[in-house]
Amino acid sequence: MTMKHRPLGRSGLDTSALGVGCMGLSFGYGPGVDRAAGVQLIREAVARGVTFFDTAEAYGALNEEMVGEALAPVRERVVIATKFGFAGGTPAAGLDSRPERIRAVVEQSLQRLRTDRIDLLYQHRVDPAVPMEDVAGAVKQLIEQGKVRHFGLSEAGADSIRRAHAVLPVAALQSEYSLWWREPERDILPLLEELGIGFVPFSPLGKGFLTGAIKADTPFAKDDFRNIVPRFSAEARAANQVLVDAIAGIASAKGATSAQVALAWLLAQRPWIVPIPGTTKLHRLEENLAAAALTLDAGDLRRIDEALAGITVQGGRYPAPLAALVGR
């Protein structure tokens, strides 16, 4: 199977139709994998045609180092994205997008990623203490110096996107979007279409829930952040199982898995959407990548919409402190 490619908006960035989100290799979902296993999984993705890999300072030095080691031999063929925006690189410490901090983070990331330039540099969360014009201006200087190629935002609201784009073209917005979080359809997708900005949905499989592998009583590791997500309370999971069942029925009729239908649905929404599912398992990687070859026709998409229309997803996607950081 040859992996299809897509343009990320009008930025000139071209990537595989599906990327790989590397966060879970070492951060967020309980124990990650060891360095060698992480490097090997990234290289397996490259071998299967993936050219787009997403990491961040906030995922820990090991995460960027895995990406750097894995991709060094194929650096000219891949697009590496990373992010700045948290104080000391630690989300719990709060936000910090001061220009001097951005410059320092980029120098550290370049070392860990074993490269001389970052293809796509995102602000991880909008920092209300730093004018967006200053953030965009700092990244613009880094682009002029050849250390960064493209500028991105993550979980930003419409006003911030417009303000940033007026200073420096925003190549991509990375935000959550999936069959169980469709909020971007209201204001964000039309804005991105207008401005020619690509969209990179993270958690395209609902942090694993849309695969059908997580039930109401599925335990999570003690350091898995889903433990504090309202949408993953046992009660919410039990209530949201109806959504998973609906997707599973459609997948069965297509001879596909629920994960593949969830990813193919995202790909069908716009030609400039590139989801970045993450996994630590090779068989899941292969399952996810096969979604790029799954075509959902108008009838399929209509059936999915009809199935979801009567379902209200239960539970917030973030606890209150984290919810306050998005959409600014």
* Averaged pLDDT for residues 36-50: 98
CB 29, CB 221: distance < 8 Å? yes
Pairing mode of beta strands 14-16, 5-7: antiparallel
pLDDT of residue 105: 98
Tell me which residue of 215, 205, 328, 227 sits closest to 277, measured CA to CA.
205
Residue 166: pLDDT band (50, 70, 90) is very high
* Averaged pLDDT for residues 17-23: 98
Whether residue 147 lies inside any domain: the answer is yes
Structure tokens at 128: 């209300």
Sheet holding 148-154, edge to edge: 20-21, 52-54, 79-84, 118-123, 148-154, 170-176, 198-202
pLDDT of residue 182: 95
Q: Tell me how many domains the chain contains.
A: 1
pLDDT of residue 47: 98
- Distance, in Å, from the CA atom of 64 to the CA atom of 67, rounded to the nearest integer, reads 5
Q: What are 175-194's pLDDT values in tens digits?
A: 999 999 999 999 999 999 99
The residue range of the domain holding 86 is: 5-323
* Averaged pLDDT for residues 16-45: 95
Q: Is the pLDDT of residue 198 over 70?
A: yes
Whether residue 210 lies inside any domain: the answer is yes
Whether residue 98 lies inside any domain: the answer is yes
> DSSP assignment, residue 170?
E
pLDDT of residue 324: 87
| Spatial CB neighbours of 54, under 8 Å, sequence gap ≥ 6 | 19, 20, 21, 22, 23, 81, 82, 174, 200, 202, 276
Question: What is the residue-averaged pLDDT of the chain?
Answer: 96
Q: What are 245-264's pLDDT values in tens digits?
A: 999 999 999 999 999 999 99
Whole-number CA gyration radius for the chain = 19
Q: What are 202-245's pLDDT values in tens digits?
A: 999 999 999 999 999 999 999 899 999 999 999 999 999 999 99
CB 139, CB 145: distance < 8 Å? no
Tell me which residue of 325, 13, 294 sits closest to 151, measured CA to CA.
13
Max Cα-Cα span within the chain: 54
Residue 25: pLDDT band (50, 70, 90) is very high
* Averaged pLDDT for residues 309-327: 89
Whether residue 328 lies inside any domain: the answer is no
- Distance, in Å, from the CA atom of 147 to the CA atom of 135, rounded to the nearest integer, reads 15
Whether residue 295 lies inside any domain: the answer is yes
Q: What are 86-113's pLDDT values in tens digits?
A: 999 999 999 999 999 999 999 999 999 9
Q: Is the pLDDT of residue 4 over 70?
A: yes
Whether residue 242 lies inside any domain: the answer is yes
- Distance, in Å, from the CA atom of 164 to the CA atom of 214, rounded to the nearest integer, reads 38
**Alpha helices, DSSP H only, in the chain?**
35-47, 61-71, 99-112, 132-144, 158-167, 188-195, 234-254, 258-269, 282-289, 298-309, 320-323
Q: Is the pLDDT of residue 28 over 70?
A: yes
> What residues are annotated to the active site?
59
> DSSP assignment, residue 250?
H
Tell me which residue of 273, 271, 242, 260 sits closest to 300, measured CA to CA.
260
* Averaged pLDDT for residues 6-33: 94
What percent of the chain stands above pLDDT 70?
100
The CATH number of the domain holding residue 48 is 3.20.20.100
More confident residue, 323 or 72: 72
Whether residue 167 lies inside any domain: the answer is yes
Q: Which residue has the tokens 């613009």?
A: 140
Q: Is the pLDDT of residue 1 over 70?
A: no
Residue 321: pLDDT band (50, 70, 90) is confident
Residue 320: pLDDT band (50, 70, 90) is confident
pLDDT of residue 48: 98
Residue 260: count of CB within 10 angstroms of its CB: 23
